[in-house]
Structure 1
Amino acid sequence: MADVAALVEVLRDPELRRWTSHVVDDEADGTRWVRAQQRSWAAGDRFSFAVLEEQPGPVREQLVGHVVLKEVTPVSLKAEVGYWTAAHARGRGTAPRALEALTDWAFDTFAADGLERLELLHQVDNLASCKVARKSRYALGGVLPAAPPSFPRDGHLHIRWLPGSVRQRITDQRSD
């Protein structure tokens, strides 16, 4: 809850609003959004993380992004990842580092439950997300048709396989 004011400020960015499906216009929206993330943690089906950067001065940390593992179910072999980066932190490798940390955590935490595959979806014209996916070793798995209203344009499906899995070895051989 301590990050609500920063969340509201970051999510006012028009570029970020272009790509995200949630709207946070004020502190009440921000509080609802944070509480929804907390409920999802408690339910065990969605795990959101604030990406913070240490800084000098009285405010020791600054919100620079967000990563999420979603659609986690005990019987599914896959889950989805998502992320966003605050305008002031773009171009510094924040998203790839945060996504890599989330990916490692997801496989470490859920591989024993059967998780083998992480999917990353973005609209085809979101070139920055495509670049983050490639930097984070998510292979392009295909193009998905638009699914309005939440996914109004065609999208890219990127995939990252559990390290050492048969599918991951096949993917690695194809990229060699």
Structure 2
Amino acid sequence: MPFTTQPVIERGALATTPQPTLRSADGELVLRSPALDDAQAVHDAFQDPVLTYWHIRSMESLDEARDWVEAAHTGWREEKSAQWIVAGAADDAPLGRMALREMNFLDGVAEVAYWVLPQARGAGVAPRALDALTDWAFGLGFHRLDLQHSTRNDPSCRVALKSGYALEGTRRSSALHTDGWHDMHVHVRINS
């Protein structure tokens, strides 16, 4: 059966172009395609118990980190996800990661995901990088961006609100963490 609406974003919008480099409004952060040289920083990030708790994943080896970098490039080519390393503009040192997941081109909807290295937390890295990612995604044509986090993750809630992602509601008992089921806040930005 054919759809009665056209896709909000045409297929090929990502796959036919190189992944862009984004900049924070203040110019202090750059969001760039992950490189194999980032594997050590990615591996180190997943040694942080705070990060692994909220992201419910672990990374045991540098080879896994290299696989993560390769998967990021595959996600772009297949238009399933888009991942950026957040780095300092002055020294290109990795500070974190921003991503669009669950990209639905038909409806123009995607989910935002991110993490920040421990040494970069509290410096406004996540909201500034999220603002740059949001601007790019809306420029591409996405209509709605969702951001979900555990109701127990107060820092992520502050990032979402600081970046204009309004709290839309709570998904009860919808994410399994190592300590059991968590309720999840759903924040949203609409391209309007």
**Normalising by the residue count of structure 2, what TM-score does the alignment of the two structures yield?**
0.76
Q: 2:144 aligns with which of 96, 117, 132?
A: 117
Letter in 2 for 1:5: Q
* Structure 1 residue 130 corresponds to structure 2 residue 161: no
Contact 2:98–2:133 (Cα < 8 Å) also in 1: yes
Structure 1 stretches of 5 or more lacking a match? 166-176
Structure 2 stretches of 5 or more lacking a match? 1-35
Counterparts of 1:52-131 in structure 2, within 5 Å, are: 52-55=87-90, 60-109=91-140, 111=141, 115-131=142-158
How far 1:21 sits from its partner (Å)?
Answer: 3.0
Which residue does 1:48 correspond to in 2?
Answer: 83
What root-mean-square deviation, in Å, do the aligned CA atoms of Structure 1 and Structure 2 show? 1.5
Count of aligned pairs: 155
Name the CA shift for 1:90/1:41 in 2 (closer, same or farther; >3 Å): same
Q: Determine the C-alpha separation between the residues in 2 that align with 1:148 and 1:44.
A: 25
Q: Determine the C-alpha separation between the residues in 2 that align with 1:89 and 1:71.
A: 27
Q: 2:48 aligns with which of 13, 22, 26?
A: 13
Q: Determine the C-alpha separation between the residues in 1 that align with 2:171 and 2:49.
A: 25
- Deviations 1:142-173 (CA, angstroms, capped at 9, x unpaired): 000223546930000001010xx3xxxxxxxx
Contact 2:151–2:184 (Cα < 8 Å) also in 1: yes
Contact 2:146–2:188 (Cα < 8 Å) also in 1: yes
Q: Determine the C-alpha separation between the residues in 2 that align with 1:152 and 1:50.
A: 29
SS at structure 1 position matched to 2:168 = strand
Name the CA shift for 1:88/1:81 in 2 (closer, same or farther; >3 Å): same
Contact 2:174–2:184 (Cα < 8 Å) also in 1: no
- Deviations 1:15-74 (CA, angstroms, capped at 9, x unpaired): 11111133212101101111111110110120000001145xxxx321101000111122
Larger RCO: 1 or 2 (CA < 8 Å, sep 6+) = 2
**Normalising by the residue count of structure 1, what TM-score does the alignment of the two structures yield?**
0.83
SS at structure 2 position matched to 1:137 = coil
Contact 2:98–2:129 (Cα < 8 Å) also in 1: yes
Identity score, percent: 35
Contact 2:175–2:184 (Cα < 8 Å) also in 1: no
